[in-house]
Amino acid sequence: MTDTVIDTEINTALALTLAWLLAFHLLRAPLALRAVVVLALGWAALGGAVQVAAAAALGHIAVALVSKQLPAHLWSYLGTQAAHLAVILAALLWMPDAFASGLWAGYAPLLQPPALLLCGLMAATLLGGPAVGLLMAPWRAAAQIEGLDNAGRIIGLMERALIYLMVMIGEPTGIGFLIAAKSILRFETASRDQKASEYVIIGTLASFGWALAWGFGAQSLLAVLR
């Protein structure tokens, strides 16, 4: 398979992935509206090929409807995200050159890096929140962590975004300072309650590990595409 064919397939995959992440993880709206948005975004990102965007949108809707019947568990969440990616893969296998035949084909070298960076950022931050939350759910009540409403989710988003960006700019050593800062801020809570301490440690490592995995993955793919 030539480099041109690989680039063409990657561009199509990035366009469909970007549409899915924006519609199903950034947008907080009813499923019907998300369906319309993912169709519109897919069509816009591909620069045409509305049939591919429509097929992907229908697949994402089907996965979302099935996921509503599943228990709120980490593995069901990860399985759902894998199913969404399978929808994108199926659309890619059906029409791998959808992007190449669209309006933006001539701008592919300019659009590919920012699209990859944005997909990686959203995967590291938005996908990671529910994953870490579901991982920690069995111990949340026992830990009895008190704080502002929704503050934990916002902190998690910010720390994963910072870790991802540090990896992408080639400064992963800065993550050590982030760990130190969080340890200092959480020291009083952790020192007076062992359960709370263990809860914070597990949650922090899971959040950091998730962001690091996506950061290094995006960095490696970007290096290959260059």
Q: Are residues 11 and 87 in the same domain?
A: yes
Q: What's phi and psi for 173, nearest 5 deg? A: -65, -25
Higher per-residue pLDDT: 150 or 106: 106
In a domain, 12, yes or no: yes
Mean residue pLDDT of the chain comes to 87
In a domain, 215, yes or no: yes
At residue 87, does pLDDT exceed 50? yes
In a domain, 90, yes or no: yes
First to last CA, the chain: 17
In a domain, 112, yes or no: no
- Amino acid identity for residue 215 in this structure: G
Q: Are residues 78 and 145 in the same domain?
A: no
Higher per-residue pLDDT: 142 or 199: 199
Q: Which among 39, 32, 41, 36 has a CA at the least distance from the CA of 64?
A: 32
DSSP 29: S
Q: Are residues 65 and 147 in the same domain?
A: no
- Total number of domains in the chain: 2
Query: In the listed set 74, 103, 132, which residue is the last one of a domain according to the structure?
Result: 103
Query: In the listed set 103, 138, 169, which residue is the last one of a domain according to the structure?
Result: 103
The residue segments making up the domain with residue 94 are 3-103
Q: Are residues 131 and 180 in the same domain?
A: yes
d(C-alpha 59, C-alpha 105), whole Å = 25
Residue 3: predicted pLDDT: 54
* Backbone Cα Rg of the chain: 19
pLDDT tens, position by position, 2-45: 556 567 888 999 999 999 999 999 988 899 899 999 999 999 99
For residues 77-99, average pLDDT: 94
Residue 147: predicted pLDDT: 60
Q: Are residues 133 and 65 in the same domain?
A: no
Q: Are residues 82 and 14 in the same domain?
A: yes
Q: Are residues 143 and 95 in the same domain?
A: no
In a domain, 111, yes or no: no
Q: Are residues 98 and 136 in the same domain?
A: no
In a domain, 116, yes or no: no
In a domain, 87, yes or no: yes
Q: Are residues 89 and 161 in the same domain?
A: no
Structure pTM? 0.88
Q: Are residues 93 and 172 in the same domain?
A: no
Give the side-chain half-sphere CA count within 13 A for 18: 22
Place of tokens 């300019």: 110
Q: Are residues 79 and 39 in the same domain?
A: yes
User: Hey, what are 40's tokens?
Assistant: 């519109």
Report the residue count for the chain.
226
Q: Are residues 75 and 129 in the same domain?
A: no
Task: Report helix angle 108-122 to 3-21, nearest 10.
Answer: 40
